[in-house]
Chains A and B, each alone.
Chain A
Amino acid sequence: IAGITQAPTSQILAAGRRMTLRCTQDMRHNAMYWYRQDLGLGLRLIHYSNTAGTTGKGEVPDGYSVSRANTDDFPLTLASAVPSQTSVYFCASSDLSGTQYFGPGTRLTVL
């Protein structure tokens, strides 16, 4: 069982380009999340999805969009990347107790 996989592992991107970060889980969890981690700021929630077909905004949603077409996949899209979106991005899913399980992360650099 892989748990949560994320792709790519890392990416360098020119400002203004579109980028989709992929996240797939095989635990059949209903809820999924995207966080960004920045030094000194901990983890901040970008978007979440309680179940397939629904999404919601987290603490820092601007500049990001998500979709949840099925239970397993929860891609995060940056429509037009800016340098302030340089960060490490973690995808997570949670079981019914609310315990979250994290993917390995994507390190994104926007130049």
Chain B
Amino acid sequence: AQSVSQHNHHVILSEAASLELGCNYSYGGTVNLFWYVQYPGQHLQLLLKYFSGDPLVKGIKGFEAEFIKSKFSFNLRKPSVQWSDTAEYFCAVITISSGSARQLTFGSGTQLTVLP
């Protein structure tokens, strides 16, 4: 079964700092990759996704992520964070195989705190 690792459990940054959150998955086949964000007290919202094509994908609110197949990674980046980016971020993977339900496997999440 596939697994998703988010190595940073809690990241604390000052406003305007650059952000990179790590995500690694364990599956050798075709994958669809997602980053979700959960603001305090809210539900998960889709930040960005990668299915195929350009491995650098851009999402909402200035976020981007790069798929590096050789490293099984899909790291999330933002050049300059804002206080409003304080949230929990989840990486998720769907493995693409015939005949199976497309179930997401989530990482355990990274709590980002941005200090004003």
CB of A101 within 8 A of CB of B104, answer no
Which DSSP category, helix, strand, loop or mixed, fits chain A's interface? strand
What's the tally of chain A residues with a CB closer than 8 Å to chain B? Answer: 24
Nearest CB of B to A42, in Å:
4
Nearest CB of A to B87, in Å:
14
CB of B43 within 8 A of CB of A56, answer no
Asked if B101 is at the interface of the complex by the 8 Å CB criterion, the answer is yes
Residues on A with beta carbons closer than 8 Å to the beta carbon of B101: 31, 48, 50, 56
Distance between Cα atoms of A97 and B51 in the complex (Å) = 9
**Are A48 and B103 also in contact (CB < 8 A) when A98-B94, A102-B43, A102-B44 are?**
yes
Distance between Cα atoms of A50 and B103 in the complex (Å) = 10
Distance between Cα atoms of A100 and B46 in the complex (Å) = 8
Nearest CB of A to B102, in Å:
4
CB of A99 within 8 A of CB of B49, answer yes
Nearest CB of A to B108, in Å:
4
Q: Which of chain A's residues has its CB closest to B101's CB?
A: A50
Distance between Cα atoms of A100 and B36 in the complex (Å) = 10
Nearest CB of A to B99, in Å:
11
CB of A98 within 8 A of CB of B108, answer no
**Are A42 and B107 also in contact (CB < 8 A) when A31-B101, A31-B102, A48-B101 are?**
yes
CB of B103 within 8 A of CB of A45, answer yes
CB of A42 within 8 A of CB of B46, answer no
Asked if B42 is at the interface of the complex by the 8 Å CB criterion, the answer is yes
**Are A42 and B104 also in contact (CB < 8 A) when A90-B43, A98-B94 are?**
no
Q: Which of chain B's residues has its CB closest to A51's CB?
A: B101
Q: Lowest 6 CB-CB distances: which A-B pairs, in order?
A: A98-B102, A42-B108, A102-B44, A102-B43, A98-B94, A43-B106
**Can you report 11 A-B residue pairs in the complex whose CB atoms are below 8 A from each other?**
A31-B101, A41-B108, A45-B103, A48-B101, A56-B101, A58-B103, A90-B43, A97-B32, A97-B51, A103-B43, A105-B43
Residues of B within 8 A of A (CB): 9, 32, 34, 36, 42-46, 49, 51, 90, 92, 94, 101-104, 106-109
